[in-house]
Amino acid sequence: MTDLYGVVPEPLAFAARDWGDLAELMERSSSDLGGQGVGALAPSVQAAASAFLTAWAGYAGESAAIARGFSSALDALVADATHTDDAIDTHFGGIDARLGPAR
């Protein structure tokens, strides 16, 4: 595929993979933060520590959803661009460019 219109699928596919990797990392972070206990901390800070962990587990979960969305959008763009380019190649590949009786 050419970059005539600025769409080159390979870098977009790499970016989609990287966003997918980030989504997995954020999902693990959300799970890890949400699964932490606060029982070993002083009773005076347990409520604050629990609220902190809960909030950050939520932020990580939201970030995972956003990263997954970027990854999916980039994958869809790559698929659309590749499909369009293949269709153009097929269409123009059948055109006979010879002129006159040589056809």
Domain ranges of the chain: 9-89
Query: For the residues of 25-59, what is the DSSP string, one character each?
Result: HHHHHHHHHHT---TTS-HHHHHHHHHHHHHHHHH
The predicted-structure confidence for 93-102, as pLDDT tens digits, reads as follows 777 666 666 6
Q: Structure pTM?
A: 0.76
CA dihedral 89, 91, 94, 99 (to 10 degrees): -100
How do the pLDDT tens digits run along the chain, 103 residues long?
Answer: 455 566 788 899 999 999 999 999 999 999 999 999 999 999 999 999 999 999 999 999 999 999 999 999 999 999 998 898 888 888 877 776 666 666 5
